[in-house]
A and B are shown apart, each in its own frame.
Chain A
């Protein structure tokens, strides 16, 4: 019996399947589409097997190549990393089930190989304990994403893909400069080892690497001035890919920023500056989403807004704030991932991405519309959905040590929630009460596609009505990050 509770498997399994898909594509033909489903089912099993270990020890560390860290690369999974990798595997699994019925364009084996690589890279980025490895995972993810954004090869997709490629590769270069500056200052690449040595550095010595890493990851995480690629790239990609890009990719980039800021760069002077960025991102995303006619573009702008919201909660730098940020991340990943899958099925039926053409769909595609409504309500933060609990937590956390600026930020957040509500209700109103002028034959999406949507919707409903376990888990995870348990645990368990 192999020990399943090994974080390396989370990366190795999808990478192995990526190459298997690419190699067997010529003789398995369209049979390759079943391979990603197997890969992510295995990943879910590994993540579940890791839960008892992580709860018992607080962290699981796996080293590679028979050396001890810092000489070898290690994978470290703590509570937050485990939760995010579980969500990444779950989204990867449902999206690959969705792909069975959704992707009929050639070359199929290339699409499935890139898709598996994308989720593998994201999981890798979440669980790695080595800062150069973070860069490699970042680039693996980016290159897979560039290819997938341009997959349809029509005008819009190629342009969006090229734009994303230029910005993404500049971001990668900035990230690499930051990493190499840290290496020059400390002489090591292991995150825990760096964290122990950065305490001797001055603020100025840490600021330059931080600015570089923040810019690099900020491009991937769609923070305000750096997100020009996102509203083009997310709508141009196939819907299952948009679901992964929106649901996990921005979250993983923000997660990496949170992890590095709290572990390596231990300074308090910059949080105010980050807060300004977060609020600008929030306002830009939500206001732009309000004016969109294209439904996928609207959801993409809404992703920017949500990123701003949980980045704001992170920049509060308190246990409650981080807890709110993690809850909002979970809420965003599940509901936005589900919304893109639902909308993909609807676009397939209607043949248009314009919101006005969705009139009357609420009567014709009952199940899809129902889950779209649930996802939209949870993103808006209507009670009793999970988004309500997370937004409530963020607002309480902001008002905890309130000064005038924080009160103003809370007002902005509430105002932006209203804007968010306005455009989602506009969509729902068109869908349920709008009159369709053209008489088009619209059927419900196929059962396989509905299956993925229903799985995500059920998970969202379960955590909405029984939020206590998730809230407690996130509280512990946030306390661990604030108290720097990552370093002490890693030292205890041989991560160094």
Chain B
């Protein structure tokens, strides 16, 4: 349960940062928090208390004693996607800084939403 609460707190915190903060880097941190929150949510959905890795490594291991492997695979994919998105976002921020010499979105003309 604590994992679900934690993941939704992370997502809410990230959304807050994206909407309220005026600094481009802080907005990126917010985006990353949302992504981390979602990843934590996925992992906790597949979690089985006291479960082991989903490999038939010793005799007598039943499927109910393992954690669900599919969410872990999904999380890996999601992490790769987030990483590439972040790289692109940082490139955009570098270019914005070159054009305007500031990271404050209030001083960047049309960046209002």
Contacts and interface: CB of A to CB of B under 8 A. Distances in A.
Label chain B's interface by main secondary structure.
helix
Contact of B113 (A161, A183, A228): A228
A173 interface: yes
Interface residues of A, number: 32
B95 A158 contact: yes
A177 B111 CA distance: 27
Nearest to A138: B81
A165 B89 contact: yes
A167 interface: yes
A133 to B, nearest CB: 10
A139 interface: yes
Interface string B23-62: 0100100010011001001100100000000000000000
Given A132-B74, A136-B81, A172-B81, A166 B99 contact: no
A153 B113 CA distance: 21
Contacts of A183: 45, 70-71, 74
Given A163-B113, A228-B113, A180 B74 contact: yes
A382 B113 CA distance: 36
Interface stretch (A28-36, A142-150, A246-254, A308-316): A142-150
A159 B108 contact: yes
A211 interface: no
A162 B42 contact: no
A170 B93 contact: no
A161 B89 CA distance: 9
B84 interface: yes
A67 to B, nearest CB: 13
Contacts of B89: 162, 165-166, 169
A232 B110 CA distance: 9
B113 A162 contact: no
A94 interface: no
A158 B42 CA distance: 32
What 9 A-B pairs come out closest when comparing CB atoms?
A162-B92, A139-B81, A184-B45, A158-B95, A173-B34, A228-B113, A180-B42, A173-B38, A155-B99
Interface of B: 11, 15, 18, 24, 27, 31, 34-35, 38, 41-42, 45, 70-71, 74, 77-78, 81-82, 84-85, 88-89, 92-93, 95-96, 99-100, 108-111, 113
